[in-house]
């Protein structure tokens, strides 16, 4: 460490990397910040805003600094493997390095397994960016389930709605689109939430179907619906569509989860329809990404539907603040947290890809499944 504080390296200075770096500058335990991005102007802009100690386009230069004790990897989805493995190599002699990795570990299942193996073999403390675990409503539901307040869970229903800004912005960044499906990119968040709520159950089979009427020409699916069977017989319906029109008022995610037990039910409506803005003034895109502009103006907004949170008076408030600051607290004083682990992240990728495999083949897929079988 640099002194007794955290020496933080942020790799990827786009939307999420920026949010986490700005929050890092607020935390009293972070006393050194280094930034790296392939776009020098993006890195420089963030460096000025957070008064970074180092700004570079050279990954090795950043990770070679002795001050670095913690790394945030926030590059594009297809570009996680190299920075993760480079950070793991840095951590081997130190034994104290911690990683915060935006999902996924990799977009290739074999690469994901290799990355997980490297992280665990090196004894790296690694967590994944599944921000919604840090929202108050889901923490409350988790505790009610721990307390057994609906008896034994028998079935779970999950429905996620998204407008098409995320696939539009995500797919235009790369020509490697085969694994950038609604489940792998976005459904993974609601899948992680349900797997967390259903712990310690594990799925033993999934049967799924997809459709690509609207987004097929972009190289992805519109929607995927699946049915999981868990190892204790619980059935779980997991559905997502990210092809809703741009003008749909949800900035990004609208989620509903129903959990039925032998002695009760928990019904979660996380659609953000409780605070609605309607105006004659065009609203900013709910999803922001470099070089992306939505194809239509939005005049109605479900406030609070942007997953990281919302900005008020220049500060971000919401689950990404809670998630990031809790991680820094974990690093500085060792508190236990509900972060997803690297193993959770790998599992989530495998399950989303198993859904896609079932949809492609039209057959149920037995679980667990080897990563090689998903290629």
* 3-class secondary structure per residue, 238-268: EEEEEEECCCCCECCEEEEEEEEECCCEEEE
Band (pLDDT 50/70/90 cuts) for residue 294 is confident
Tell which CATH architecture fits domain 6-131+321-340.
Answer: 3-Layer(aba) Sandwich (3.40)
Return the H-helix or E-strand segment holding 15.
helix 15-26
Residue 296 three-state SS: coil
User: What single-letter DSSP state applies at residue 318?
Assistant: S
CA distance 39 to 46: 11
Scored b (16 or more CB within 10 A) or e, 113-139 reads bbbbebbeebebbbbbbbbbbbbeebe
- pTM equals 0.94
**Mean pLDDT value across residues 45-69:** 97
Residue 57: pLDDT above 70? yes
Are the C-beta atoms of residues 222 and 213 closer than 8 Å to each other? yes
* Proportion of the chain above pLDDT 70, given as a percent: 97
Residue 231: pLDDT above 60? yes
pLDDT averaged over the chain?
94
Instruction: List, for residues 59-77, the tens digit of each pLDDT value.
Output: 999 999 999 999 999 998 8
Residue 206: pLDDT above 70? yes
CA distance 182 to 243: 9
Tell me the backbone φ, ψ of residue 166, rounded to 5 degrees: -65, -50
Q: CATH for 133-307?
A: 3.30.360.10
* Proportion of the chain above pLDDT 90, given as a percent: 85
Band (pLDDT 50/70/90 cuts) for residue 104 is very high
Domain ranges of the chain: 6-131+321-340, 133-307
């Amino acid at each position: 460490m640099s002194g007794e504080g955290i020496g933080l390296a942020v790799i990827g200075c786009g939307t999420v990397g920026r949010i986490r770096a700005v929050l890092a500058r607020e935390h009293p335990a972070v006393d050194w910040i280094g930034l790296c991005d392939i776009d020098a102007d993006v890195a420089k802009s963030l460096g000025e805003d957070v008064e970074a100690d180092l700004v570079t386009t050279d990954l090795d230069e950043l990770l070679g600094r002795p001050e670095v004790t913690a790394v945030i990897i926030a590059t594009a989805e297809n570009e996680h493997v190299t920075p993760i493995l480079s950070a793991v190599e840095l951590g081997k002699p130190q034994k104290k390095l911690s990683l915060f990795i935006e999902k996924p570990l990799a977009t290739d299942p074999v690469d994901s397994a290799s990355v997980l193996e490297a992280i665990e073999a090196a004894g790296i403390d690694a967590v994944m960016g599944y921000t919604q675990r840090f929202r108050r409503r889901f923490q409350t539901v988790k505790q009610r389930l721990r307390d057994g307040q609906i008896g034994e869970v028998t079935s779970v229903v999950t429905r996620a709605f998204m407008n098409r800004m995320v696939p539009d912005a995500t797919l235009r960044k790369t020509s490697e689109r085969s694994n950038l499906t609604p489940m792998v990119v976005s459904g993974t968040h609601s899948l992680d939430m349900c797997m967390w709520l259903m712990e310690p159950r594990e799925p033993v089979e999934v049967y799924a179907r997809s459709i690509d009427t609207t987004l097929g020409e972009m190289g992805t699916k519109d929607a995927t619906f699946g049915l999981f069977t868990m190892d204790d017989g619980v059935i779980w319906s997991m559905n997502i569509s990210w092809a809703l029109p741009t003008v749909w008022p949800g900035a990004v995610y609208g989620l509903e989860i129903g959990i039925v037990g032998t002695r009760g039910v928990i019904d979660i409506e996380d659609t953000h329809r409780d605070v609605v803005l309607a105006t004659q003034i065009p609203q900013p895109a709910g999803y922001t990404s470099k070089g992306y502009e939505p194809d239509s103006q939005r005049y109605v907004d479900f406030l609070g539907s942007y997953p990281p949170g919302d900005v008020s008076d220049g500060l971000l408030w919401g689950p990404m603040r809670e998630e990031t600051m809790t991680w820094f607290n974990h690093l500085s004083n060792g508190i236990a947290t509900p972060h997803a682990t690297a193993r959770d992240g790998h599992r989530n990728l495998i399950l989303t890809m198993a859904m896609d495999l079932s949809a492609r083949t039209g057959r149920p897929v037995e679980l667990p499944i080897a990563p090689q079988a998903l290629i």
